[in-house]
Every structure is written in structure tokens, then in C-alpha cells.
Amino acid sequence: MSEQHIVSAYDRDLESIQGLIFKMSGLVEDAIAKSVEALSTRDVELAETVRAADKQIDALEERINDEAARTIALRAPVSKDLRIILSVLRISSSLERIGDYAKNIAKRVPVLAEQRAITESDATLRRMAREVERMLKDTLDAFVQRDATLAQEIITRDSDIDQMYNALFREFFTYMLEDPRNITACMHLHFVAKNLERMGDIVTNIAEQVIYVTTGSRPDEPRPKGDQTPFIGTVD
């Protein structure tokens, strides 16, 4: 088998795997949007569709893992090619985790539908979700384009998510102090906000993988972290 034929086969394999990554990312973005929409409207049926659709995300992760393992076994990639394949595995794992967080948000909807409404937080939660979706889309674009500059910009944008989370934390704490009847709803909403904040962290992990693929090294500067809140337990 000629070297040119081997390279061509590897490129086809990689293109196929990247297509699966984009499909998985689309499902994850949809899960984020629908989980927060279900939360805002207290739509239990929509929340259930998010939970059910998570199986598709899990199945895609398994398929990507299988395809990546097959490519490593058949093509024996080295250097940058190997970095790309290993990064694909980490990206698919990260996407699966984000999907799990969206599913966990959807799980809160039936409980919150029975609680006192804390409607003031809905707009901020929607903004957080939209920003996570934009960051995720931009990160996948940076991966395909091998754009380390865009990936670094996305890492800095995570501080916006942290700031929104910090504001919500203070808001929920105030509501709980003002009226103990708000405690259950605020605890669940805090769980939702924390899940969105963690999604932002995972997207920055993906962006760091993009930098690694493109440059061969990881970011030198420690990631700025804006979450300044103390830990409070979340109800499951």
C-alpha cells in the first residue's frame, strides 16, 4: 500500500469522525436549549424529551470511540495526526458530559413545576445557556479550522458565565433569607445554574484541546476562574 494511499485513507477516516463530532455537538446544543426552555416554561413533556434524547448522545460517543480506536489500529497515526485522534476522544467525552448536565437540568423541571415561581432568574439562566451554546459552536469551528487564537478567546469568555453564576448565587441566597418557602425552589435553581457554569468549564477544556492540537502545547497561562461562591449542597 503506497504512502499516499495511507494518507488519503487516514484523511477520510478523520473526516468521518469529525462529522460525528459535529453531529454530537448539534445534539448537545439542542439539549441545552430545550432543557432551559423546559425550565422557563415548566414544560414537563419537553423536559422528558431532553432526557430521552440523551441516549442518542451516549450512542454517538460510543461510535466515535470505536471509529477512533479503529483508525489508530489501522493507520498507526503519529505526531500531529495522533494528537488529533486523541483530542477527538477527549472532545466526545466532554460533549457527553455536557449532555448529561442538560439532562440533569431537565430532571429538575417536574419538581420546579410544583414549587413557588422564582421567575426573576429565568432570563439570566437563558442568557447563560445561550452563551454556552455559542461558546460550544465556536469551539468546534476552531477545532475544524485549527484556530488556536479563536480557542484562546473562547477560554476568556468563560468568565462571563462565571459572573452570571455568581450573580444568581447571591440572588438565590437573598430569596431564601427573605422567605423560607423559597428554599426548595432556589436550591433546585442553584443546581441548574451550577450545571450551566460547569458546562462552560467543559467547553473551555475543549478549547484547550484545540490549542493542543494546533500548537502541540497547552496554554501556559492558568485559566481565569470567576466562580467566587462558597459551596452549598444541591438536592438530587
pLDDT tens, position by position, 177-193: 999 999 999 999 999 99
39-53, 111-125, 221-235, range with the lowest pLDDT: 221-235
For the chain, how many structural domains are there in total? 1
Higher pLDDT: 121 or 25? It is 25
Q: So what's the pLDDT on residue 97?
A: 97
Q: What is the CATH number of the domain that holds 161?
A: 1.20.58.220
Judge contact between 136 and 28, C-beta under 8 A. Answer: yes
Does residue 233 fall inside a structural domain? Answer: no
Judge contact between 183 and 176, C-beta under 8 A. Answer: yes
Does residue 77 fall inside a structural domain? Answer: yes
Q: So what's the pLDDT on residue 222?
A: 59
Does residue 121 fall inside a structural domain? Answer: yes
Rounded mean pLDDT of 200-213?
95
| pLDDT, tens digit, 9 for 90 and up, residues 65-123 | 999 999 888 877 777 788 888 899 999 999 999 999 999 999 999 999 998 888 778 88
In this prediction, residue 223 has a pLDDT band, given cuts at 50, 70 and 90, of low
What burial class does residue 78 get, using C-beta atoms within 10 Å of its C-beta: 0-12 exposed, 13-18 middle, 19+ buried? exposed
Q: Where do the H-state alpha helices sit in 113-182?
A: 122-145, 148-178
CA separation for the pair 100, 55 (Å, rounded): 10
Does residue 231 fall inside a structural domain? Answer: no
Does residue 99 fall inside a structural domain? Answer: yes
pLDDT at 235 over 80: no
Does residue 32 fall inside a structural domain? Answer: yes
Question: What domain range is 168 assigned to?
Answer: 1-215
Q: So what's the pLDDT on residue 117?
A: 81
Give backbone dihedrals phi and psi of 21, rounded to 5 degrees, phi first: -60, -45
Does residue 227 fall inside a structural domain? Answer: no
Give backbone dihedrals phi and psi of 74, rounded to 5 degrees, phi first: -85, -35
| pLDDT, tens digit, 9 for 90 and up, residues 147-161 | 999 999 999 999 999
Q: Is the dihedral of CA 3, 6, 12, 18 positive or negative?
A: negative
CA separation for the pair 131, 108 (Å, rounded): 21
Residue in 20, 194, 199 with CA at minimum distance from that of residue 99:
199
Judge contact between 32 and 133, C-beta under 8 A. Answer: yes
Rounded mean pLDDT of 121-128?
92
CA separation for the pair 45, 218 (Å, rounded): 42
Judge contact between 162 and 71, C-beta under 8 A. Answer: no
54-63, 69-78, 196-205, range with the lowest pLDDT: 69-78
Does residue 221 fall inside a structural domain? Answer: no
